[in-house]
Amino acid sequence: MIRYEKDQRVPVTLTVNGREYRQWIEPRLLLSDFLRDELGLTGTHVGCEHGVCGACTILLNGSPARSCLKLAIDVDDGQITTIEGLARDEEFDALRQAFSENHALQCGFCTPGIMLSVAVALKHTSESDPVDWDDVLSGHLCRCTGYVGIRRAIKALQAKEGGEAKA
Ligand code: FES
Ligand code: FES
């Protein structure tokens, strides 16, 4: 086990939304705090800070992950996508529009995490191998929508794209 001195800083290199960052950080810094406090990417929300609510979800090397459960140093050399990075993706426009049109958000606290998980799931779903949306959404706590609007948004998007519509 590596032991760190008090106030010691360690180097970390992370590619976030396509841009490489090299920083010196405290070894105990959470990835969620690194994104929010060091990089100013506050679209990554922090709710429970122990892996339950899903608000802090980011994509780590293309897969959804809880950024509150990881130390930034543990994902050194990783590729991270936050909601800010997805916002530059044209494919994301349709998802954003579907959420907006179907009232899939109210306060919006859970929304970045849910959108990241849904965006990845949509890429992997097909008629022959449909994604289990209960499973996807079970990783996210939304205290406002009752999930009705979120499911409606997914369904509308899939109908528009001609994919399977069971959400
Ligand atoms: S803040 Fe990370 S899961 Fe709740
Ligand atoms: S929209 Fe408020 S928590 Fe989900």
pLDDT tens-digit map of 91-147? 899 999 999 999 999 999 999 999 999 999 999 988 899 999 999 999 999 999 999
pLDDT tier for residue 6 given thresholds of 50, 70 and 90: confident
**What CA–CA distances, in Å, run from 137 to 93, 151, 158?**
20, 9, 16
Q: Which fold has domain 10-85?
A: Ubiquitin-like (UB roll) (3.10.20)
List, in order, residues 6 or more apart from 146 with CB less than 8 Å away: none
pLDDT digits (tens, 9 = 90+) for 56-88: 999 999 999 999 999 999 999 999 999 999 988
Superfamily in which the 89-161 domain is placed by CATH: [2Fe-2S]-binding domain (1.10.150.120)
Q: How many angstroms separate the alpha carbon of residue 138 from the centre of ligand 1?
A: 13
67 lines ligand 2 (CB under 6 A): no
pTM (two decimals): 0.92
109 lines ligand 2 (CB under 6 A): yes
In the chain, CATH 3.10.20.30 covers 10-85
pLDDT at 163: 52
**Which single residue is written with the structure tokens 């009232």?**
103
In the chain, CATH 1.10.150.120 covers 89-161
